Structure 1
Amino acid sequence: MTFGAPASLTSAFTPFDAGAEVVAAVFLGDAPVLALADGRLAFPGEAGDVRHSVAHPDGAILVAAADGRRLITGGDDGLVIASDAAGHEIVADENGKWIDAVAARADGTLAWSVGRELRAQTPKGEVKTLPLPSSSRGIAFFPKGYRLAIAHYNGVSLWFPNAGAPELLEWKGSHLDASVSPDGKFVLTSMQENMLHGWRVADGKNMRMAGYPAKTRSLSWSHDGKWLATSGADACVVWPFQSKDGPMGEPPRECGVRPEVKVTRVAFHPSALAVAIGYEDGMVLLCRLTDASELLVRRPDEGAPARISALCWDAKGTRLVVGAENGAAGVLTLPKK
C-alpha cells in the first residue's frame, strides 16, 4: 500500500444508500455486506446498486460479527442468525431476549451473550454456557485456542469453554467492548467512563488509558499487533504495544486530528501501518502511521451530519467498506500501483 498524489481518494469511492442505519460492515470473501438496524442486510453491487435481504423479519439487528464466510447477527428478537449471499440460518433462539454481543472466527466457532449468560458454540454445533456476574456487551476470541474474553461489570472473564471455571481479571466499573491483541498477550476493554482499561494476560497487570473526551467504542489492532487505534477523541489515538508492559509509560500517537470533531470508528489496514478513520460528521480519512500523511476518502456531510458507524477492510487491503447512521455508505477501491 502506497500513499502519494493525489491527496484525495474520493474519485475511487463509490457511494450508495444502504437503506437504513448501518450497524456493521464486513467482507464475506470479496463481497461487502452491511448489517442494518431494521433487520435487513445490504449487498452492494459494483455500480452502487444495492440488493437487500431480510435476516431478522420481526426485529432489529443490534450486533454483528463475521467469520469470513458468514455474517453473524444478533437481534432484539432473540435470534442469532448466520447469513451469506445464499440465505439465512437460525443459529440460536433465545426466546425474545436481546442479544447483547456476538463474536465469530474463521473456523466457524461462535459466541454470543444474552442476559447474564455467555454461550460458546463449536463448528459442530456443541453449545456451552457460562453464567456471568452481569450482562456483557463485549466478547472476543483469543487468536489461538478455544478461549474467550468477556467484558462485564467489574472486569473481564477469560474462559476456556472446555476447561470449566473462568479466570477473572478485575477492575471496578462497567466494561463495555472487549479486544484481544493479535499475539494474545493483552486484553483491552472500553469502559462506561471515558477511558480504556487493559491487562497483561500472563500476570494480570493492569493498564489504565484515560484522557478521552468521549467514550471509546471502536478499537482496531495493527496487523503486527504493535499498535492499537482507538476512537473517542478529536483524533485517532494510537497506543504503542511494542514492550512487555504495553503502553504503560509510553505516550500515544495521534493522527487525523480535527479539532472539535470526534472520531467514531477506526480500522487498521490488514497489512500496512495505515488506519481508516471515520468521524461524527461523516468524513473518512486514511492516515499513515509512520509520517501521519492523510488521504481523504469521504467528505463531511453537508447539512445534517451522520456519524460513521462502520468501517471494514477486505482481506487483501484493496477495498474499504463504509457505513453511517443515516444509511449513507460506500466502497473505496484503492488505485492499483
Structure 2
Amino acid sequence: MPTLAPVDVDGFVVRAGFLKDVPFFALGDGSLCFAEGGERRVQPHKNGLLAAEKMLDEKGLVTSGDDGLIQKIDSDGTITTLAERPRKWIDLLACGPNGAVAFASGRTAWVRLDDGKENEFAHERAVGGLAFAPKGLKLAVARYDGATIWWANAGGAPQELSWKGAHLGISFSPDGKYLVTAMQENALHGWRLSDSQDMRMTGYPAKVKSWSWSQKGRYLATSGANAAICWPFFGKTGPMGQNPLQLGTRGDNIVSVVACHPKEDVVAVGYLDGMIMMCRFEDNAEVLLRRLGKAPVSSMSWDDAGDRLVFGSEDGEAGIISLR
C-alpha cells in the first residue's frame, strides 16, 4: 500500500521534484526546501520564485524569479548566479544538454552555455514557452502564431512553424519527431517535424497547463479535463485519426497536474481538489495515492526509480508518496 509522508513547506509549490534522489520543493516566496532527514531551506530569490527546472545531469536546480536572477542551486544548498536581467520577470526556463540553460523575458530568449557564453534570440511577439530538443542543441520557442526552432549554439536560419493563435507551453516528443504546444485557447497544437504536418488536439473544457510524456514517448498525458487526456504518438501520423485515452475520469473535478512514471505505463493524476490517483494506460486500473486536500495539486514528479512521487499544492500542502 502507498504511504504518504507530509512535508510542511508553507507556500505555493511552483515545482516539486528530486535532485540526486533528494526531494525538493521550489516555493513561490522565493525559497527552496530540501526534505532529507529533516527540512533544509535556502533562499535563491528575495521575493518571488517563478520557475524551476532540474539540470539534465542533475548537478543542480535552476530557478528564476521576479528579481531577474537565474540561479543554480546544488543539492548541498550552494547558490550560484548564472545570469541576471535587472528589472525583468523571468518566468520561462528550460535546461538542455551539456549544461545549457534557456530563459526568456518579453520578446527575447537567451541560451547560456556551460562556458558562460550567452546567445540571444529575438522575436516579433512575446515568448510563450521554451524547450530543448532531445538530440542536438536546438531550442524551440513558442510564440504568437506558431513556434520557432533555433540552433542554440550557432548561427543559421531558424525553422519556422506556423499556426494562428497564442502558443504557450512547448515540448518535443522524446524521439524528437514531434513538437507540441499548449495554446491560449483550450487546445494543443503539434507539428510532425519531418514535413511540418499540423496536428490539432482539441475538446478540452479548460486550458492545458500540465503534460508529461510516457516512458518511450508512446503517449502524451495532459491536464485540462475531468480525466487525464493521453494522446497516442505511436504510428506514422501521431495522434491524428486516433482517439486519446481518458484515465482517472471524475465527473466533478478537473485534472490539474499529470506525471508519467519513468519505467511503467502508468501516470499520476492530480486534481483541483487535491486528490491524487495513479492510473494504468493498458486498462485504466486506478490506485488512490492521496485523498482530498485543501487546494489544487500544483506540481508532481517521480524519482528515477519510480518508487516515490513528490507533490505540492497551491496552499503549501506537500508530501512524498512511497509505493514500496
Shorter-chain TM band: over 0.9
Alignment partner of 1:168 is 2:160: yes
Alignment-derived partner of residue 17 in structure 1: 8
8 A contact 2:31–2:45 mirrored in 1: yes
Alignment partner of 1:81 is 2:71: yes
8 A contact 2:9–2:317 mirrored in 1: yes
Shift, 1:124, TM fit: 1.4
**Residue of structure 2 aligned with 1:39, choices 7, 19, 30:** 30
Shift, 1:237, TM fit: 0.4
8 A contact 1:100–1:137 mirrored in 2: no
Deviation string, structure 1 residues 291-322 (Cα, Å, up to 9, x no partner): 11111111112xxx311010111111111110
Shift, 1:240, TM fit: 0.4
Shift, 1:136, TM fit: 1.8
Alignment-derived partner of residue 3 in structure 1: none
8 A contact 2:174–2:216 mirrored in 1: yes
Distance (Å, rounded) in 1 between the aligned partners of 2:208 and 2:23? 25
**Residue of structure 2 aligned with 1:237, choices 221, 229, 248:** 229
Distance (Å, rounded) in 1 between the aligned partners of 2:220 and 2:307? 21
Alignment-derived partner of residue 200 in structure 1: 192
Distance (Å, rounded) in 1 between the aligned partners of 2:7 and 2:157? 47
Alignment partner of 1:119 is 2:107: no
One-letter amino acid of the structure 1 residue matched with residue 45 of structure 2: H
Give the TM-score of the pair, scaled to structure 2: 0.96
Alignment partner of 1:210 is 2:202: yes
Distance (Å, rounded) in 2 between the aligned partners of 1:298 and 1:134? 41
Distance (Å, rounded) in 1 between the aligned partners of 2:219 and 2:35? 31
Alignment-derived partner of residue 130 in structure 1: 121
Alignment partner of 1:65 is 2:44: no
Distance (Å, rounded) in 2 between the aligned partners of 1:86 and 1:331? 20
Alignment-derived partner of residue 228 in structure 1: 220
Shift, 1:42, TM fit: 0.9
Alignment partner of 1:268 is 2:238: no
One-letter amino acid of the structure 1 residue matched with residue 205 of structure 2: P
Shift, 1:334, TM fit: 1.6
Alignment-derived partner of residue 108 in structure 1: 99
Alignment partner of 1:189 is 2:210: no
Distance (Å, rounded) in 2 between the aligned partners of 1:63 and 1:291? 35
Alignment partner of 1:285 is 2:277: yes
Shift, 1:52, TM fit: 1.5
Distance (Å, rounded) in 2 between the aligned partners of 1:258 and 1:155? 33
8 A contact 1:117–1:132 mirrored in 2: yes
Distance (Å, rounded) in 1 between the aligned partners of 2:59 and 2:302? 15
Extract unaligned runs of 5+ from structure 2: none
Deviation string, structure 1 residues 61-112 (Cα, Å, up to 9, x no partner): 1111111221111111111111122311111110120113000135311100
Distance (Å, rounded) in 1 between the aligned partners of 2:25 and 2:96? 18
Runs (4 or more) in structure 1 with deviation over 3 Å come to: none
8 A contact 2:68–2:88 mirrored in 1: yes
RMSD of aligned residue pairs (Cα, Å)? 1.1
Distance (Å, rounded) in 1 between the aligned partners of 2:114 and 2:94? 13
Percent same amino acid among aligned pairs? Answer: 44
- SS of residue in 1 equivalent to 2:119: strand
